[in-house]
Amino acid sequence: MDTIVLIPRDQILPGNNDRTLFDAQELQALAASISENGLIQPITIRLMTADPSVCFGGDLYGDQAQYQIVAGERRFRAMCLLEWQEIPCIVKQLTDADASAIMLSENVSRSDLDPIDEANAYHLRISALGWSVAKCAEKAGVSEVRVQFRLKLLGLRPDIQQLVRFGNLQLGYAQILADARLDTNRQMMAIGNLRNTPKPTPGWFRNLVNEYAEQQNQASMFEDAFLVCQPMPASAMTKAEPPSPTTFKPAIQGRDPYETIQKLIEFWEQAALEWEKIGKPFKRQECKAASSALLHVYSII
């Protein structure tokens, strides 16, 4: 049975926690619970050095020893809110790999991690410790498929990852989008379509994303510089279809970024009307999505 010891609070340092978000209200609620009911489970810490002899007097619990939290940082923070000067701890001597395994198991099993933090936790262990997907799954107590799906989330745009992190994009839709490995522009267009659709379904969104993926695969057969970066000559558009965000980059400039974005919004709104006139609603949605994305950028700059 592990021995519980009281360690001075100022000798305990946060670990390399996979969890990056600590909700203030949840910590206050946890502190209130600990105050009323006591601490049910002490935190787990490890000595910052593998050799206890470097501590004061060679004592594992010497007053010059420093410790790193392995499991229980939320409980530690809650006890700090309660101004506890001594923290009930279980002290272990662990390697980096052993500490990492304990932290991963606790965070995932307690549902402490949002999907992006969980994905980063797996990626860190794969890149820094050389773990396989199978080992990550074993230590976290989850399936290999879950680990693979979470890792794919890291291929999403950072702003879309934030939507997932804070629950503003359902995980099922995020997984569909991540699985398609779209480029950043098509990811944003897919999200724009999702937001503009009154009653989306996973099946509808999967078909939409697959169509974007097919367009992307076709586009890869051409030089990116020609397809994306070169504006289409005006002479080629006189009898051609209206412009589309997947095949055309308008050469529009303004006196400042605000005017440029306004002109681009007007350009794609007009393109959407033209697609509607010729009876192609999907292309109209692409243009509306581009317009919506630009409007979002305009609102935050």
pLDDT at 1: 59
Residue ending a domain, choose from 71, 94, 117? 94
User: 215 and 231 share a domain?
Assistant: no
- Among residues 93, 84, 69, the alpha carbon closest in space to that of 14 is found at 69
User: 292 and 274 share a domain?
Assistant: yes
Is residue 213 within 8 A of residue 182, CB to CB? The reply is: yes
- How many beta carbons lie within 10 A of that of residue 160, not counting itself? 22
Residue 115, in any domain of the structure: no
pLDDT at 242: 83
Is residue 51 within 8 A of residue 89, CB to CB? The reply is: no
Residue 193, in any domain of the structure: yes
Which domain, by its residues, includes 290?
224-300
User: 202 and 228 share a domain?
Assistant: no
**Number of C-alpha atoms within 13 angstroms, CB side, residue 128?**
11
Distance CA 233, CA 230 (A): 9
User: 185 and 258 share a domain?
Assistant: no
In this structure, what are the phi and psi dihedrals at residue 190, rounded to the nearest 5 degrees?
A: -65, -40
Residue 11, in any domain of the structure: yes
Residue 106, in any domain of the structure: no
- Among residues 284, 261, 281, the alpha carbon closest in space to that of 272 is found at 284
User: 77 and 51 share a domain?
Assistant: yes
Residue 123, in any domain of the structure: no
pLDDT at 298: 59
- Among residues 173, 179, 181, the alpha carbon closest in space to that of 204 is found at 173
User: 178 and 193 share a domain?
Assistant: yes
Is residue 288 within 8 A of residue 251, CB to CB? The reply is: no
pLDDT at 225: 40
Residue ending a domain, choose from 175, 204, 219? 219
pLDDT at 224: 45
Residue ending a domain, choose from 167, 196, 219? 219
What 3-state class would DSSP assign to 59?
coil
Element (H, E) at 77: helix 73-81
Query: Which tokens belong to 164?
Result: 């997932």
| DSSP code at position 198 | S
pLDDT at 29: 86
- Among residues 233, 227, 186, the alpha carbon closest in space to that of 210 is found at 186
User: 20 and 89 share a domain?
Assistant: yes
What is the domain count for the chain? 3
Burial string for 194-204 (b: 16+ CB within 10 Å, else e) reads beeeeeeeeee
User: 47 and 80 share a domain?
Assistant: yes
Q: Name the one residue in this structure whose structure tokens are 């549902």.
A: 111
User: 73 and 9 share a domain?
Assistant: yes
Is 232 exposed, middle or buried, given 0-12, 13-18 or 19+ CB atoms closer than 10 A?
middle
User: 228 and 214 share a domain?
Assistant: no
**Number of C-alpha atoms within 13 angstroms, CB side, residue 223?**
4
- How many beta carbons lie within 10 A of that of residue 173, not counting itself? 20
User: 7 and 36 share a domain?
Assistant: yes
- Name residues whose C-beta falls within 8 Å of residue 217's C-beta, 6 or more positions apart in sequence: none
Query: Which tokens belong to 276?
Result: 């509607």
Residue 104, in any domain of the structure: no
Residue 133 CA to its chain's centroid (Å):
18
In this structure, what are the phi and psi dihedrals at residue 48, rounded to the nearest 5 degrees?
A: -70, -15
Q: Name the one residue in this structure whose structure tokens are 């989008």.
A: 177
What 3-state class would DSSP assign to 69?
strand
pLDDT at 237: 37
Distances (CA, A) of 218 to 211, 227, 228, 293: 11, 11, 13, 24
Domain with residue 80: its CATH number is 3.90.1530.10
Q: Name the one residue in this structure whose structure tokens are 């390697």.
A: 95
User: 263 and 214 share a domain?
Assistant: no
pLDDT at 146: 92
Residue 148, in any domain of the structure: no
Residue 44, in any domain of the structure: yes
Per-residue pLDDT tens listing for the chain (301 residues): 578 889 999 899 887 777 767 778 888 888 998 998 888 889 889 887 644 444 433 455 556 678 988 888 888 999 999 999 999 998 888 888 888 888 877 777 665 578 998 898 899 888 878 889 999 998 888 899 999 999 999 999 999 999 998 889 999 999 999 999 999 999 999 999 998 888 899 999 999 999 999 888 876 655 444 434 444 444 433 346 788 876 777 777 777 777 777 888 888 888 888 878 777 776 777 777 777 777 765 565 5
